[in-house]
Amino acid sequence: MKNISLLLFLFSGFLLIHAQSPAEMASAIEKEASENSQLPLLAHELMDVVGPRLVGTPQMKNAHDWAVSTFAKWGISAENEAWGTWRGWERGITHIDMLSPRVVSLSGRQLAWSPGTSSKGITANLITIPALPDSAAYAKWMPAVKGKFVLVSMPQPTGRPDYNWEEFATPESFEKMKADRDAMEDAWNQKIRNTGYNSRTINEALEKAGAAGIVQSRWSSGFGANKIFSAGTKKIPAVDLSLEDYGMLYRLVENGRNPLIKVVAESKELGRVPTFNTIATIPGTEFPDEYIVLSAHFDSWDGGTGATDNGTGTITMMETARILKKLYPNPKRTIIVGLWGSEEQGLNGSRAYVEDHPEVVEGLQALFNQDNGTGRVVNLSGQGFLHAYEYLGRWLEAVPDSITRHIETTFPGNPGRGGSDYASFVAMGAPAFSLSSLSWSYWNYTWHTNLDTSDKIVFDDVRNNVILTAILTYMASEDPVKTSREKAVLSINPRTGEQREWPTPRSPNREGGID
Ligand SMILES: [Zn+2]
């Protein structure tokens, strides 16, 4: 019995060794990705168990530790590389309830790094910002906010997205709604300008004037979707409410109903904490000093669970590494998975990595980054590298037509200047590429919103991206030649009339969360 298993084992090893023509490897990758996908399990562990991954939170550290142990299970060595520190903060229970004129629990949350409350919370009435002629008038009004929650966002006239109006409204009423909304926005912006502050600095001024807290609602133009970023306060809590509940409170105040709310926001300040990149490595056998980097940022905002920004990019790169380790355990070139910290605050993890690892920048054969949602890859740009067409084109030939037929390529293209972590490498002149996805309503519905949750993941599209990335990586690793990084002559910017220049590297923020 033992001998038979040994024979089978040797035979399967023999098959693997001989599966290495590009076509055979591509179909082995496709088979493994389709028949033994670990994507749903990875998504469950990352989004449901670890949760959102805001820089400086214990959950971010949990995510890094989870990644290292997951890679270890697959026989891939990985480590968490510290590159700086951040303000440590942990979200606790948030409860926002209206107590008068009736009792109802409201839909909202504390904003990142907002000061917290005791478990008893803060109970207070609300105030809106009146329209006054100038900053002197506002200075006089300011004491009125003392002890009150201030409603600082314009109440939206409709919670229906424009596409819904377009479908059902008469053309006249759709036009009228848009015109009314534009006028409201103009008046609101004028009002904020008259205060002498902007929409960001006003929170601090209200805090100084003794407000009990800040209530905002930053609608993302989709049903139920709000953008969730950080608080602009140092001592008082700042919360974001759903469009529906915010609008209700606003109307109650404006109609003299004097609503009373209670906010419990039990966050904790944790001092300075280290911040990391998770780096996994499958060593190369023939050209160990040349690298293919599978790149995705690991951190997220915390309104949802960071499922499409960038949970899907993360699990794409992890699943790709798992499959390659299984089918292609001894790559010619070194394969690195880079799961970057603090992309959301300015590509900090990847900027630190390119500074700390000149050898990887120098030896980079190719980097593939994915970070714009759950969709299948539909765009690939040569990022301004003159010969990218030649090698990317050759690698893409090994990818099944069912995947490449969706992809529009642009060569040589323009170098990326930001937006995601490939730009940190492009700025160094290293061949890094963005696997750019179909939107699936990313910008309104999931990007930095409360709705960026697992239910939005489209696993078929993510699996498509795994197969694409794995085959491109295999081809880049096997390529007999190192990729050219000769830069194209960049085009004229039609806006300025001047020739575009190659982006220059920028330093990371290694001491984050300090004002
Ligand atoms: Zn992102």
Nearest-angstrom CA–CA distance, 425 and 419: 12
Nearest-angstrom CA–CA distance, 233 and 326: 49
- Calculate mean pLDDT across residues 230-254: 97
The pLDDT score that the predictor gives to residue 5 is 58
- Partnered with residue 101 across adjacent β-strands are none
Do residues 63 and 53 touch, judged by C-beta distance below 8 A?
yes
309 Cα–ligand 1 center, Å:
4
- Partnered with residue 106 across adjacent β-strands are 96
Closest Cα partner for 282 from 72, 40, 35?
A: 72
Task: For the chain, report the end-to-end CA distance as a whole number of angstroms.
Answer: 68
Output the six-digit token pair for 455: 């239910």
Q: Inform me whether the pLDDT recorded for 17 exceeds 70.
A: no
Nearest-angstrom CA–CA distance, 107 and 101: 17
The pLDDT score that the predictor gives to residue 10 is 52
88 Cα–ligand 1 center, Å:
21
231 Cα–ligand 1 center, Å:
20
Taking the CA of residue 515 as centre, how many other CA atoms within 13 Å lie in the half-sphere pointing to its CB? 7
420 Cα–ligand 1 center, Å:
6
326 Cα–ligand 1 center, Å:
28
90 Cα–ligand 1 center, Å:
21
Q: Inform me whether the pLDDT recorded for 264 exceeds 70.
A: yes
312 Cα–ligand 1 center, Å:
10
Output the six-digit token pair for 164: 């819904």
3 Cα–ligand 1 center, Å:
50
455 Cα–ligand 1 center, Å:
18
Q: Inform me whether the pLDDT recorded for 422 exceeds 90.
A: yes
Residues 6+ apart with CB under 8 A from 43: 307, 311, 312, 315, 454, 457, 459
Nearest-angstrom CA–CA distance, 351 and 428: 10
424 Cα–ligand 1 center, Å:
14
Mean model confidence pLDDT for the chain: 96
Q: Inform me whether the pLDDT recorded for 14 exceeds 60.
A: no
The pLDDT score that the predictor gives to residue 200 is 86
Nearest-angstrom CA–CA distance, 437 and 415: 18
97 Cα–ligand 1 center, Å:
32
According to DSSP, residue 80 is labeled: E
Nearest-angstrom CA–CA distance, 245 and 98: 10
396 Cα–ligand 1 center, Å:
25
510 Cα–ligand 1 center, Å:
19
Do residues 249 and 126 touch, judged by C-beta distance below 8 A?
yes
SS3 358: helix
The pLDDT score that the predictor gives to residue 293 is 98
Residues 49-69: pLDDT tens digits? 999 999 999 999 999 999 999
Residues 277-314: pLDDT tens digits? 999 999 999 999 999 999 999 999 999 999 999 999 99
Burial (CB < 10 A; 0-12, 13-18, 19+), residue 272, is: middle
The pLDDT score that the predictor gives to residue 8 is 53
237 Cα–ligand 1 center, Å:
26
SS3 37: coil
Q: In what order do the strands lie in the sheet with 511-512?
A: 432-434, 364-369, 287-297, 333-340, 268-282, 77-90, 511-512
Helix 58-73 / helix 312-327 crossing angle, nearest 10 deg: 20
Closest Cα partner for 471 from 323, 281, 358?
A: 323
- Of how many residues is the chain composed? 515
297 Cα–ligand 1 center, Å:
7
- Partnered with residue 123 across adjacent β-strands are 262
> How many Å is the Cα radius of gyration of the chain?
26
CA 446-352-423 angle, 5° bins: 55
85 Cα–ligand 1 center, Å:
20
Taking the CA of residue 44 as centre, how many other CA atoms within 13 Å lie in the half-sphere pointing to its CB? 5
Residues 359-369: pLDDT tens digits? 999 999 999 99
311 Cα–ligand 1 center, Å:
9
347 Cα–ligand 1 center, Å:
10
181 Cα–ligand 1 center, Å:
30
25 Cα–ligand 1 center, Å:
30
Closest Cα partner for 413 from 438, 427, 433?
A: 433
Q: Output the furthest CA–CA distance in the chain (Å, rounded).
A: 91
- Calculate mean pLDDT across residues 176-181: 98
The pLDDT score that the predictor gives to residue 241 is 98
355 Cα–ligand 1 center, Å:
21
SS3 219: strand
141 Cα–ligand 1 center, Å:
41
Residues 6+ apart with CB under 8 A from 437: 370, 372, 373, 374, 375, 376, 377, 378, 461, 465
310 Cα–ligand 1 center, Å:
5
Nearest-angstrom CA–CA distance, 471 and 23: 10
Report the predicted TM-score, pTM, of the whole model to 2 decimal places.
0.94
372 Cα–ligand 1 center, Å:
6
504 Cα–ligand 1 center, Å:
21
481 Cα–ligand 1 center, Å:
32
Q: Inform me whether the pLDDT recorded for 9 exceeds 80.
A: no
Q: Inform me whether the pLDDT recorded for 390 exceeds 50.
A: yes
Do residues 299 and 86 touch, judged by C-beta distance below 8 A?
no
328 Cα–ligand 1 center, Å:
29
* Residue 38 banded pLDDT, cuts 50, 70, 90: very high
83 Cα–ligand 1 center, Å:
19
343 Cα–ligand 1 center, Å:
7
The residue type found at 488 is A
103 Cα–ligand 1 center, Å:
38
* Residue 1 banded pLDDT, cuts 50, 70, 90: very low
298 Cα–ligand 1 center, Å:
9
Nearest-angstrom CA–CA distance, 175 and 179: 6
b/e map of 85-96 (b: 16 or more CB within 10 Å)?
bbbbbbbeebbb
* Segment holding 323, helix H or strand E: helix 312-327
Nearest-angstrom CA–CA distance, 334 and 20: 17
According to DSSP, residue 145 is labeled: G
* Residue 514 banded pLDDT, cuts 50, 70, 90: confident
451 Cα–ligand 1 center, Å:
15
SS (H, E, C) 244-269: HHHHHHHHHHHCCCCCEEEEEECCEE
Q: Inform me whether the pLDDT recorded for 470 exceeds 60.
A: yes
The pLDDT score that the predictor gives to residue 98 is 98
428 Cα–ligand 1 center, Å:
21
Do residues 354 and 400 touch, judged by C-beta distance below 8 A?
no
386 Cα–ligand 1 center, Å:
27
The pLDDT score that the predictor gives to residue 4 is 57
Kindly state the percentage of the chain with pLDDT values over 70. Answer: 96
Do residues 257 and 298 touch, judged by C-beta distance below 8 A?
no
* Segment holding 95, helix H or strand E: strand 94-100
Kindly state the percentage of the chain with pLDDT values over 90. Answer: 94
